Structure 1
């Protein structure tokens, strides 16, 4: 069976992620080797974006989000794929979350639902709307944000990052409403 070829270069954190992706796809990767991305790696990612395009596919943890943020600042038109924290959970106790732990299905689903952030002048979703949905404050706010991030394929965010991420991925009030309807059904 031949593996599906991914045209873009996937940016991952390390060699275990590369190995795991190559088990599922015919793919080329750039490894950041940790959250402190140096200038040479950023230049490599920029060049890859200009020639083939890149998809940022980092772990759904603090380090992964830090890498993603650094790349978004340097290469705002890079595409992004996300895994939920649940999908990236390790089998062994004590191991950290990671792309390398995801199932074939989770990896395929994430890379088939790649999203591209875009600059826009669209009106932002009002903070009050996010409060009304219980996404910023309240007993289940964190769980709601985590499930919303999974539903919209924008990754996990804290309360501060949520508004920015919704704007960056051009999520409309209608999309938010539909996603929250599904989130409410699972709570």
Structure 2
């Protein structure tokens, strides 16, 4: 499977994992210390081919995602679940631990940032998160994590989750479907 866009990853091990799964070019940030020259390469790649940000589902990976997204607007985003990124020993979380299938699935489900001129007529609000039990209550973290998987926007705390819903133009209808699925899963477990 060949990917046109350049894929932004954190390091060499991530590049190796991506190239096992796909025919793609990568740009490595070399961890969370993203230099100006790397950001310029990412901006050039975005201008000429497009960029997919594909970082580890952890705090440093999310920090890199925010920096690149802020400095190079309009990027696409691919997310791995923590489960798919966990090493066999469960002591390391990263793209380099993911299976070929998990990497391909993440790239196939890529999400695009909303261009500022396109606004959702029915955006999800903070109150919608509270009403869905995804903010400030027991089980809210798990519900956000599962909804993030369903919507393919990754896991985030409540504030960042709401920002992602807006950034990826997830409307109330799409959000409501994900909430319904999460609640149905909870009810079948109980």
TM-score between both structures, scaled by the size of structure 2 = 0.93
Task: Tell whether the 8 Å contact from 2:119 to 2:169 is kept in structure 1 after alignment.
Answer: no
Count of residues paired in the alignment: 183
Whether 2:156 is the aligned partner of 1:160: answer no
Query: 1:94 Cα deviation (Å)?
Result: 2.2
- Runs of 4+ aligned residues of structure 1 deviating over 6 Å after TM superposition are none
Two-structure CA RMSD over aligned residues (Å): 1.1
| TM-score with structure 1 setting the length | 0.94
Give the gaps of 5 or more residues in structure 1: none
* 1:104 to partner: Cα distance: 1.4
Q: How does 1:91-106 map onto structure 2 within 5 Å?
A: 91-95=88-92, 97-106=93-102
1:170 is matched with 169
Alignment match, 2:119: 121
1, 8, 13: which one aligns with 2:10: 13
Residue 45 in 1 paired to residue 42 in 2?
A: yes
Distance 2:33 2:185 in 1: 37
The residue that corresponds to 1:36 in the other structure is 33
Q: Report the CA distance between 1:129 and its aligned residue.
A: 1.3
How far apart, CA to CA, are the structure 1 residues paired with 2:176 and 2:119? 20
- Measured in 2, the distance between the counterparts of 1:108 and 1:61 equals 20
2:71 aligns to what?
Answer: 74
2:82 maps to what in 1?
A: 85
